[in-house]
Amino acid sequence: MLNDIPNLTDKEAQDCAGEIRKSHRGLPQRINADPQSVEQGLAKLVLTLIELIRKLMEKQAIRRVESGNLTDEEIDRMGETFIKLEEKMTELKEIFGLEDEDLNIDLGPLGNLM
Amino acid sequence: MSKKQYLYCIVETPKIDIIPCKGIFNCKPYMVRYHDIGAVTSEISATCVEINAETVLSHEEVVEYMMMDHTVLPVRFGTLLNSVDDIKAALKANEKAIDNNFNKVRGQVELGLKVILRNIPEDLPHTIEDDVYEDNLTPGRHYLLKKLKQEENTRKRLEDASPTIDEIYHTLNKYSLQSTIRKLSTERMLLNSSYLVPKENIDAFKTTVEILRKRYPSLILLFSGPWPAYNFVNLDEGSD
Amino acid sequence: MDDIGAKTKDVTLLEVLDRLIDKGVVLHGDLVISIANIDLIYVGLRLIITSVDTMQRCYERGVIGHV
């Protein structure tokens, strides 16, 4: 290896590794070509898209709560919808054996927004 | 059993035909030439490449070996082509863009710097307690207000960290022609940045990292490199 | 025994992964991107996200109206 990682203490190395792992969005971890995993790949795609849209909608909702032009009732209703969506997603993730990280695509410049 | 070509990198003016590296799945890497461009490839039997320490390091080893003596465009991990003819066709189709990318990265390397908070900050957005708000909120309202609070917290953390991040970034950016930056990749990773640096600036860059390390003892400055210019090659852009 | 070395090695591998997996030249055309259909999907997603981001920026700059 050409690249040069400085002498890190045990703890530093552990911390760095942990944070790099966390920052690693959307990277397929284990991939095989058997049919079952292709199905999982498809589920991953679909759920990732749903999760992306859910997050975008949630952002939009938060913006509107922040701007103060929603009625109390509207906020209640929207919030409940998001809770239900989140529950549904948890269920689906379990069914397909996917973790949160699996659905965390690299949002590039959007990363900070999400 | 169908064979595929696993591609590692594209090089300028190949000087060798056999690459003395183990190669992915122990398949010897060799050079495919088109005009003055070379593509380093291994013939493999697999139809897909699993991401694991071995495959990733085999790929990297080949690219780094080529980098010692060549201008190199690293290829995305997991790229398979059907045949040597297909490689040549791909090189032909992208000849101009490849040339432009060679011009951009010739004599340059990529250096990386990640800045990580040494200690776990206390005000992490996800640590916000449920009982921040009064009990009489409906679940829906509670949910959204909590999300809002978390977001405000993240925004504030970014604001607070910005002067430090910017200083580190701008100090190092002086040595580079191009850079990529990402702030607050995780709650502790304040900065994830890469720099395209002329080889003669590598030492100055490293010295500066050392100075910054002393200046910011509360931060871990994770330097890495020299790398092939992973973050700075792009055939789509180069074709203009 | 050589635990520090092992952990640093872990960081090195992650640093390699951080670059190699989703960066580097993408060849179009006859190319078969392997990773069992998934990387293709990933590349496709990036396109969608870029569009969403552009939209969002336009929205923020007031170039397009409120949704």
Q: Which of A23, A34, A72 to mutate to test the interface with B (most CBs of B within 10 A)?
A: A23
DSSP B190: E
Q: Would you call the peptide bond into A35 cis, given omega within 30 degrees of 0 as the criterion?
A: no
For B173-203, the pLDDT digits (tens) are 999 999 999 888 888 899 999 999 999 999 9
What CA–CA distance (Å, rounded) separates B56 from C10? Answer: 13
The 10 Å Cβ neighbour count of residue B127 is 12
User: In the predicted model, is pLDDT for residue A111 greater than 70?
Assistant: no
Residue with tokens 């990292």: B209
**Predicted pLDDT of residue A105:** 55
Which residues from chain A sit within 8 angstroms of residue B47, using beta carbons? 33
Digit-coded pLDDT (tens) for B102-141: 999 999 999 999 999 988 776 655 555 555 555 678 888 8
Q: Which of A105-114, B14-23, B56-65, B79-88 is predicted with the least confidence, judged by mean pLDDT? A: A105-114
* Cβ pair B220:A16 closer than 8 A: yes
**Are B111 and B231 within 8 A, CB to CB?**
no
In terms of Cα–Cα distance, which of C37, B44, B193 is closest to A42?
C37
Question: What is the pTM (predicted TM-score) of this model?
Answer: 0.75
Closest Cβ–Cβ partner in C45, C52, C53 for A48: C45
The reply to whether residue B235 touches residue C27, judged by beta carbons under 8 angstroms, is yes
Q: Is B51 on the interface with C (CB under 8 A)?
A: yes
Question: Residue C17 carries which DSSP code?
Answer: H
Q: Shortest Cα distance from A7 to chain C (angstroms)?
A: 8
Of residues C14 and B172, which shows the higher confidence score? B172
Q: Is A110's Cβ below 8 Å from some Cβ in C?
A: yes
Contact B196, B177 (CB under 8 A): yes
**ipTM value > 0.90:** no
Chain A neighbors of B188, CB-CB under 8 A? 15, 19
Percentage, residues of chain B above pLDDT 70:
91
Q: What is the pLDDT of residue A108?
A: 44
pLDDT of res. A75: 87
A91/chain C closest Cα distance in angstroms: 22
- Would you call C32 and B80 a contact, using CB atoms and an 8 Å cutoff? yes
Which of chain A's residues have a Cβ under 8 Å away from the Cβ of C56?
A: 110, 113
**pLDDT, average across residues B15-44:** 96
B51 vs C contacts (CB less than 8 Å): 17, 21, 35
Residue type, B97: A
Helix (H, G, I), strand (E, B) or coil at B45: coil
Q: How far is A94 from chain B (nearest CA, A)?
A: 22
Q: How long is chain C? A: 67
pLDDT of A33 reads 42
Angle between helices B53-67 and C3-20 in degrees, nearest 10? 70
Amino acid at B129: E
pLDDT in tens, B20-29: 999 999 999 9
Task: State how far residue A88 is from chain C, nearest Cα, in angstroms.
Answer: 22
Interface test with C, best of A27, A30, A58, A103 (most C CBs within 10 A): A27
Pairing of strands B72-74, B189-198: unpaired
Question: 208-237 in B: which are within 8 Å (CB) of C?
Answer: 222, 224, 227-228, 230-231, 233-236
Between CA B121 and CA B127, with CA B125 as vertex, the angle to 5 degrees is 75
